[in-house]
Amino acid sequence: MNRSHASALQSFARNLQWLLTLRLAVQLATVWFFAWGVVILALRIFGIQNIYWLTMGLLAVAPLAFIASWRAKKQRAPLTKIRASYDRINACGGIVMSAETHDVAAWMAQLPGVATPKLQWRSGRALLLLSASAVFVMITLLLPNRLTHFPGRRPLEIGQIVQQLQAEVKVLAQEKIVDAQKAAELQKQLSQVQNDSLGYDPAKTWEALDHIKQSDSDEARQAAQEALDKTTSLTDAESLAKAMEQAADSGMNATTASQAAQDLASMLSAAKLDNGLLNVQIPPALLAGLNGLNKEQMEKLLQGLESNKGLLSMDISNLANLKMIDAATLAKLQAAGTCDNPDALADYLSSCTNGCDAALCTHPGKGGPGRGGPGAPMTWSTGASEKDLKFQEHSLPPSPNLSQAQLMGVSKAVPELSGNEVSAEHGALNNTAAGGGAANARVILPEQRQAVQTYFKRDN
């Protein structure tokens, strides 16, 4: 056969082999990319996030090319058929086919010109699928870690809550509200909860977090209550001590001084300052010799009381910063034990000769009979005779607007009364239970309750 036709035939066979190889390679690569993508996705879902190892799948392309070449060789028709195809495409009338078994050199001149048949592969769909599979692999590799978890295995987004609780535990430990061991245990529990949190079972996690938060809140509330009690006691004691100091200068007699000192001692003792969550320490030497403290010792006692109040206030401020106690409790704490008129108490102590009540400042209430109504400052003196006196009639000030009221809590029940229930016996509120709203449509707010209770209690 003519050399040029022979080479064209070889070229045709080679092109066919290459095309089949390429086509098979594309098909195999497409299948491999999809499979590999699925494997990557599965591995990432089950926790293997090392992209470096996952990209090793690219190395499979080399064996795939080899397999494609091998399969293409198997798939390719034998040379006899390729020769026949060449003959048909070039309209050689069987002469090229005959060349396989016969010498047709004499006929070569009569054959049409040499032309290697063209092979056309409609590759659009195959290449599209290959691109899609490659994109799929890229996506599976570049997918953010948070999206490669099953919803059930995905941890809850509780980082901020855990941080908040950890900060609370830290503050509680710093303030020694909880001991170091319990704090460490709580911290460990929080870490454990964060690690074990699962999206498909959030209830367990929320339950644990609620439990820890409740525990923190309970501790904080208990500490706040304790701080409130102790601050009240310290303030009362401070007021009395100041009054005693002033009264001593004004010539308080010894009996009164002794009684006041006893009252002060019993006040500090009843406060149990060194017990509970927030311990307060008054120098024992001062406490032992309260009866007969000189001015300098009294100053030291006052300083001690003041500094302890400051410490308590600072502790509570730390808790308030983390919102572990509410604003109302904080406000109560700041107003705890304020004595309205310490100078009057000092005057009282100076003038009192027998049977003085040094703890008057601890009694709640304002004003007194004929002293200008509830707004008048508290005075202490020997009891005025109430004979032939009658209360000046005043109408109660209008209730503040509810919208300006401070929300203490929401309850469907009637506001509870601590201690003995008090029923009004005079005026418009006669025989009405507090909060019942039987006679007056106005709602008595919790902050008003104390004043109303005290007002009517005095008559008793």
Query: Quick one: which of 10, 60, 88, 221 contacts another protein (CB under 8 A)?
Result: 88
Minimum CB separation of residue 89 from another protein in Å reads 5
Q: Which residue has the tokens 């978890």?
A: 149
Q: Is 92 in the site for another protein (CB under 8 A)?
A: yes
Buried b (16+ CB within 10 A) or exposed e, 378-417: bbbeeeeeeeeeeeeeeeeeeeeeeeeeeeeeeeeeeeee
Query: Quick one: which of 45, 58, 79, 119 contacts another protein (CB under 8 A)?
Result: 119
In angstroms, the CA 248 to CA 297 distance is: 13
Pick between residue 12 and residue 348 the one whose CB is nearest to another protein.
12
Say if CB 51 and CB 139 are below 8 A apart. no
124, 329, 274, 448: which is closest to 456 by C-alpha? 448
List, in sequence order, every residue forming a beta bridge with 423; answer none if it has no partner.
433
Q: Is 156 in the site for another protein (CB under 8 A)?
A: no
Q: Is 125 in the site for another protein (CB under 8 A)?
A: yes
Minimum CB separation of residue 69 from another protein in Å reads 16
Of 381-400, binders to another protein (CB under 8 A) are none
Query: Quick one: which of 123, 145, 174, 281 contacts another protein (CB under 8 A)?
Result: 123
- Interface characters, 170-209, with another protein (x: CB under 8 A): ----------------------------------------
**Cα dihedral: 58, 59, 60, 63 (round 10):** 140
Q: Is 118 in the site for another protein (CB under 8 A)?
A: yes
Pick between residue 102 and residue 204 the one whose CB is nearest to another protein.
102
Q: Which residue has the tokens 């109430």?
A: 386
Say if CB 148 and CB 38 are below 8 A apart. no
Minimum CB separation of residue 14 from another protein in Å reads 15
Minimum CB separation of residue 41 from another protein in Å reads 30
Of 57-86, binders to another protein (CB under 8 A) are 77, 80-85
Q: Is 127 in the site for another protein (CB under 8 A)?
A: no
Give how many residues touch another protein by CB under 8 A. Answer: 40
Could you give the count of Cα atoms lying within 13 Å of 334 in the half-sphere of its Cβ? 8
**Which H or E run contains 285?**
helix 284-288
Q: Which stretch binds another protein (CB under 8 A): 43-51, 117-125, 184-192, 366-374?
A: 117-125
Q: Is 117 in the site for another protein (CB under 8 A)?
A: yes
447, 437, 433: which is closest to 402 by C-alpha? 447
Output phi, psi for 400, to 5 deg: -65, 155
Q: Which stretch binds another protein (CB under 8 A): 101-109, 317-325, 377-385, 422-430?
A: 101-109
Query: Quick one: which of 3, 52, 120, 395 contacts another protein (CB under 8 A)?
Result: 120
Q: Which two tokens stand for residue 172?
A: 């509680």
Minimum CB separation of residue 98 from another protein in Å reads 4
Rg (C-alpha) for the chain, rounded Å, is 48
Minimum CB separation of residue 20 from another protein in Å reads 8
Beta strands in 387-426 (DSSP E): none
In angstroms, the CA 261 to CA 240 distance is: 9
Q: Is 402 in the site for another protein (CB under 8 A)?
A: no
Query: Quick one: which of 20, 248, 261, 267 contacts another protein (CB under 8 A)?
Result: 20
Minimum CB separation of residue 15 from another protein in Å reads 10
Listed in sequence order, the residues at least 6 apart from 429 whose beta carbon sits closer than 8 Å to its beta carbon are 439, 440
Q: Is 6 in the site for another protein (CB under 8 A)?
A: no
Minimum CB separation of residue 128 from another protein in Å reads 12
Minimum CB separation of residue 133 from another protein in Å reads 17
Say if CB 174 and CB 196 are below 8 A apart. no
Query: Quick one: which of 52, 59, 74, 122 contacts another protein (CB under 8 A)?
Result: 122
Query: Quick one: which of 107, 206, 455, 456 contacts another protein (CB under 8 A)?
Result: 107
Q: Is 102 in the site for another protein (CB under 8 A)?
A: yes
Output phi, psi for 421, to 5 deg: -70, 140
Pick between residue 55 and residue 131 the one whose CB is nearest to another protein.
131
Q: Is 341 in the site for another protein (CB under 8 A)?
A: no
59, 51, 61: which is closest to 140 by C-alpha? 51
Query: In terms of C-beta distances under 8 Å and separation of at least 24 residues, what long-range contacts does 402-410 make, across chains too?
Result: 402/443, 402/445, 405/445, 405/447, 406/327, 406/328, 406/447, 408/328, 408/446, 408/447
Task: Enumerate binding residues for another protein (CB under 8 A).
Answer: 19-20, 23, 77, 80-85, 87-95, 97-98, 100-104, 106-107, 110, 115-123, 125-126
